[in-house]
Amino acid sequence: MDFDITQCTRCGLRLFPTRYFCPACGGSEWTRRSVEAGTVMESTVVRHRAGEQESFPLHLATVRTNEGPVVIARLDAPVPDGTHVRLEIDDAHCIIAIAC
Amino acid sequence: MSSTDFERVFITTGVEVPYSRQPVTGSTGELLAQAFGLLLAESGFSAKDIDGLGVASFTLGPDHAIDLAWRLGLSPRWCMDDCHGGASGINLLQHAIRAIQHGDANVIALVSGDHFQASDFRNLVENYNLTTRSWLSPLRNGGPNSVFAMLTRRHAKQHGLARADYGAICVAQRKWASLNPKAVYRTPMSLEDYLAASLVADPLGRFDCVPVVNGANAILITREDLARDAKKVRVRALKCLYNADHQMGDGLETSLKAIAADLWREAGMRPEDVDLVSVYDDYPVMVIAQLCDLGFAADGDVRALIARTASRLLPVNTSGGQLSVGQAGAAGGMHGLVEAITQLQGKAGDRQVDSARLAVVSGYGMVEYRYGMCANAVVLERI
């Protein structure tokens, strides 16, 4: 499933996550734009998480979407910075990046 | 227009209920009450004198500031809840000064603190705000370590820094902590110890992440003529700025960058004039970022700044900071302020900075999505 970012109808600013009013022009009407892909800016592997004794390594990436806004997404495996990824959202509302 | 007048108001007292790694008996409210009691004992004021109360806490709920006021036996004329995390101490101070200047209150107690059970902390990081609940928790990212790990990677890339450079900040703060009997972690730590520690979220290791503790801080602010302690502290300048970039940047600059020039101009001084610095230290990268934003590396030489901090030429986070003392939730936003007040009053014991007269303190926090939204700073002077 694709996911959306919002674009201010008045000034065109693209934002994620959504806002009520546009920080650039004050507009409050939005167009939704589907996000399909992006580029990994940097990544990390989380080895220990709060409240979990038995943690499994979790790969996360900061991804610049082709639409502009930056999202944090889960990776299946580590990838180098600059990797192009397809972006999806799963049933648990988790953004997933898949190396192209 | 902005008000640059901080006259006719003094900070007289700053206290800390020693932080504790283990859950302590009692509740958040009881910890805050303990801080309030310490504040009265140290300041010489009685509860009847206190006509203003400000509170910052993540775990006081379902109570609020007014419930705490009732439990403390107070009838405040001014009462305020604050929820600015690591920026809450200075945010509360800004409001409290104005309240006193305008006669809404005469003697204000500001308290902050948290008491966490394991489930409380997990609940806090998963439901920190709507963005976190909707977009970070589903990743099972486990709280802010992962986003600051990626921020540290960006910062290291931009400045050509390695893990050891961030480690130098942690080692320096631990050295200060070894002189602070209230610090939770006091055992001296070498750079080798730092580098050998297990990784939490690459490149962040165990000593890059603040230990979660229970504890509370409090500050007393009063109308000039009511101040009793001879060792008074006044505010020379105070600035807050939130959402400077609306989370559209890279998080490597805080909003301190935008307010620093006005802060120093209004304080009538330059960064090199201060005797000590407290910057909000949730991660060593943010210590470096805030010092840079405040103008402590005017030549852009970040390595030299780290070296000055490590050698104590620039005394930074002299309590050991949250990295060694621990992060007691919202108390973290007041910890550096209390340390600066303690130093300026000459009450810092073995870690006392010689003839400390001027300090700058910054707050930073409230991660909306990828980094903190809030930053503020205050320049303090011993009278």
Q: How far is residue B198 CA from its own chain's centroid?
A: 26
Question: Are B239 and B281 contained in the same domain?
Answer: yes
Q: Which domain holds residue B164?
A: 126-211+233-382
Locate B41 and state its tokens: 């004992």
Out of A15, A47, A72, closest to residue B201 by CB: A47
Question: Are B151 and B21 contained in the same domain?
Answer: no
Position B1 in a domain: no
Residue numbers in B near A95 (CB within 8 A): 135, 138-139
Residue carrying the six token digits 């990828």:
B370
Question: Are B103 and B241 contained in the same domain?
Answer: no
Contact between B249 and B255 (Cβ < 8 Å) = no
Question: Are B45 and B187 contained in the same domain?
Answer: no
At B38, is the secondary structure helix, strand, or coil?
Answer: helix
**pLDDT score recorded for residue A51:** 66
Question: Are B147 and B105 contained in the same domain?
Answer: no
Residue B99's φ and ψ, nearest 5 degrees, are -60, -40
User: Would strands B214-223 and B9-20 be described as parallel, antiparallel, or unpaired?
Assistant: antiparallel
Locate B178 and state its tokens: 């070894």
Q: How close, in Å, is residue A47 to chain B by CA atoms?
A: 5
Asked whether the beta carbons of residue A50 and residue B125 sit closer than 8 angstroms, the reply is yes
Q: How close, in Å, is residue A15 to chain B by CA atoms?
A: 8
- DSSP states along B96-158: HHHHHHTTS-SEEEEEEEE---HHHHHHHHHTSSHHIIIIIGGGT--STHHHHHHHHHHHHHH
Question: Are B295 and B336 contained in the same domain?
Answer: yes
Out of B125, B146, B198, closest to residue A60 by CB: B146
Question: Are B95 and B193 contained in the same domain?
Answer: no
Last residue of a domain, one of B196, B226, B256: B226
Residue carrying the six token digits 């509860």:
B47
Position B4 in a domain: no
Which residue of chain B comes nearest to A43, CA vs CA? B150
The CATH number of residue B135's host domain is: 3.40.47.10
CA pair distance B170, B203, nearest whole angstrom: 14
Measured CA to CA in angstroms, residue B244 lies from B71, B256, B376 at distances of 38, 9, 11
CA pair distance B263, B383, nearest whole angstrom: 19
> Diameter of chain A by CA atoms?
49
**pLDDT score recorded for residue B155:** 98
> For the domain bounded by A3-99, which CATH number is listed?
2.40.50.840
Question: Are B141 and B79 contained in the same domain?
Answer: no
Asked whether the beta carbons of residue A47 and residue B145 sit closer than 8 angstroms, the reply is no
Q: How close, in Å, is residue A34 to chain B by CA atoms?
A: 16
Residue B131 touches partner A, C-beta closer than 8 Å? yes
Sign of CA dihedral B96, B98, B99, B100: positive
Last residue of a domain, one of B226, B252, B275: B226
Question: Are B110 and B147 contained in the same domain?
Answer: no
- One pLDDT digit (tens) per residue for chain B, 383 residues: 566 899 999 999 999 999 998 876 789 999 999 999 999 999 999 999 999 999 999 999 999 999 999 999 999 999 999 999 999 999 999 999 999 999 999 999 999 999 988 788 888 888 899 999 999 999 999 899 999 999 999 999 999 999 999 999 999 999 999 999 999 999 999 999 999 999 999 999 999 999 999 999 999 999 999 997 778 999 999 999 999 999 999 999 999 999 999 999 999 999 999 999 999 999 999 999 999 999 999 999 999 999 999 999 999 999 999 999 999 999 999 999 999 999 999 999 999 999 999 999 999 999 999 999 999 999 999 99
pLDDT 10s digits, A26-74: 999 999 999 999 999 999 999 988 767 667 899 999 999 999 999 999 9
Packed helices B284-293 and B163-177: angle between N→C axes, nearest 10 degrees: 90
Out of B135, B150, B212, closest to residue A43 by CB: B150
Q: How close, in Å, is residue B323 to chain A by CA atoms?
A: 17
DSSP annotation of B42 reads: H
**pLDDT score recorded for residue B1:** 54
Amino acid at B75: S
Last residue of a domain, one of B169, B203, B226: B226
**pLDDT score recorded for residue A48:** 87
ipTM: 0.96
Question: Are B256 and B237 contained in the same domain?
Answer: yes
The length of chain A, given as a count of residues: 100
Query: What residue spans define the domains of chain A?
Result: 3-99
Q: How many CA atoms lie within 13 A of B242 on its CB side?
A: 15
- DSSP states along A31-94: EEEEE-EEEEEEEEEE---TT-SSPPPEEEEEEEETTS-EEEEEESS---TT-EEEEEE-TTS-
CA pair distance B368, B79, nearest whole angstrom: 26
Question: Are B74 and B141 contained in the same domain?
Answer: no
CA pair distance A10, A45, nearest whole angstrom: 39
Which residue of chain A comes nearest to B149, CA vs CA? A44
Residue carrying the six token digits 């920026």:
B87
Residue carrying the six token digits 């006259």:
B7
Q: How close, in Å, is residue A17 to chain B by CA atoms?
A: 7
Q: Give pTM, 2 decimals.
A: 0.97
**pLDDT score recorded for residue B118:** 72
Task: Tell me how crowded residue B130 is: count the other CB atoms within 10 A of its CB.
Answer: 11
Position B174 in a domain: yes
User: Would strands B52-56 and B107-114 be described as parallel, antiparallel, or unpaired?
Assistant: parallel
Out of A42, A46, A51, closest to residue B154 by CB: A42
Cis ω for the linkage preceding B203 (within 30 of 0): yes
The alpha-helical segments, DSSP class H, found in chain B are 28-43, 65-71, 88-101, 118-126, 130-131, 145-159, 163-177, 191-196, 256-267, 284-293, 302-310, 321-325, 332-344
Residue B154 touches partner A, C-beta closer than 8 Å? yes
Position B291 in a domain: yes
Q: How many CA atoms lie within 13 A of B186 on its CB side?
A: 11
Contact between B48 and B139 (Cβ < 8 Å) = no
How many domains, chain B?
Answer: 2
CA pair distance B111, B36, nearest whole angstrom: 7
